[in-house]
Amino acid sequence: MGFRVNVYAVRGVLIDTAFHDVRAELAAWLDANRPDGAIVTHYHEDHAGNVELLAARGMPMWIAPATLTKVRTPDSILWYRRWCWGAQAPLVSPVQQFAHPSLEAIHTPGHSSEHHVVWDAERETVFGGDLFLGVKVRVTHPWPREDVRAQIASIRKVIALNPKRYFDGHRGLVRDPVPQLIAKADWTEETVGRIDALVDRGLSDREIVRSIFDGEDKWSIVTQYDYSRRNYVASVRATHAAGL
């Protein structure tokens, strides 16, 4: 489908576990490279798809408590995600706790409520999971699975670290990341402000999608609106109504 996902190995630590359909390749890599442990950024099946494989092999993992709950009983995912990545096996094996003195997991909610980035302060490097993806991302999963407004604060939190290198979960190395992160935070904030103004004027989600985004795109249709611009608008409306 033209998607790719990256896992990273740094300081003997695996960051994320890729998707279920590449479990054989990942197992072969683990046999050859024997990392000390793994860190999982969030529960989505393209990042946490092989947590059971790692746990069953006795590999220690850092995984946020909310992520752990999610991967023990994975949500059923729509056909396009099963087809693209494969449904993940539920985590049933016990997880040994893992920590690395040079790698810090920082809570960055928005893309999902339990999303974390990994920060290597000494090397000024961020492993960003799905925090960035691109400057102008106009499609999201439905609220409250995805919270557009929370993303802005999370991106600004990472900007404040002033990273020199940034590795994205899908795009790979993002060069000169701070200006791109600032552009994303600014664009998202401006877009949210425009949506808020149209909500206040009484426009419907559909009218706002048409006004701000010039309608839906092909991924909205392909995913039956699971990943869509109307979700983006609905997320902004929900947090606007709640005064968040």
Residues at the contact surface with Zn ion, assessed by CB under 5 A: 44, 130
Half-sphere exposure of 176 (CA within 13 A, CB side): 3
Inter-residue contact 220 to 227 (CB < 8 Å): yes
Minimal distance in Å, beta carbon 78 to Zn ion?
14
Complex with Zn ion: residue 208 or 231, whichever CB lies closer: 231
Minimal distance in Å, beta carbon 123 to Zn ion?
24
Three-state secondary structure along 20-89?
HHHHHHHHHHHHHHCCCEEECCCCCCCCCCCHHHHHHCCCCEECCHHHHHHHHCCCCCCHHHHHHHCCCC
User: Own/partner pairs for 75-83, CB < 8 Å, 24+ apart?
Assistant: 77/45, 78/223, 78/224, 78/226, 80/222, 80/223, 80/224, 80/226, 81/45, 83/1
Minimal distance in Å, beta carbon 31 to Zn ion?
27
How many residues in total does the chain contain?
244
Complex with Zn ion: residue 130 or 147, whichever CB lies closer: 130
Minimal distance in Å, beta carbon 156 to Zn ion?
20
The distance of Cα 188 from the centroid of its chain, to the nearest Å, equals 16
Complex with Zn ion: residue 56 or 84, whichever CB lies closer: 84
Complex with Zn ion: residue 44 or 138, whichever CB lies closer: 44
Query: Which pair of tokens denotes residue 143?
Result: 């609220």
Minimal distance in Å, beta carbon 196 to Zn ion?
25
Question: Cis peptide before 144, with omega less than 30 degrees from 0?
Answer: yes
Complex with Zn ion: residue 61 or 198, whichever CB lies closer: 61
DSSP conformational letter for 173 = E
Complex with Zn ion: residue 141 or 149, whichever CB lies closer: 141
The CB-nearest residue to Zn ion is 44
Minimal distance in Å, beta carbon 168 to Zn ion?
11
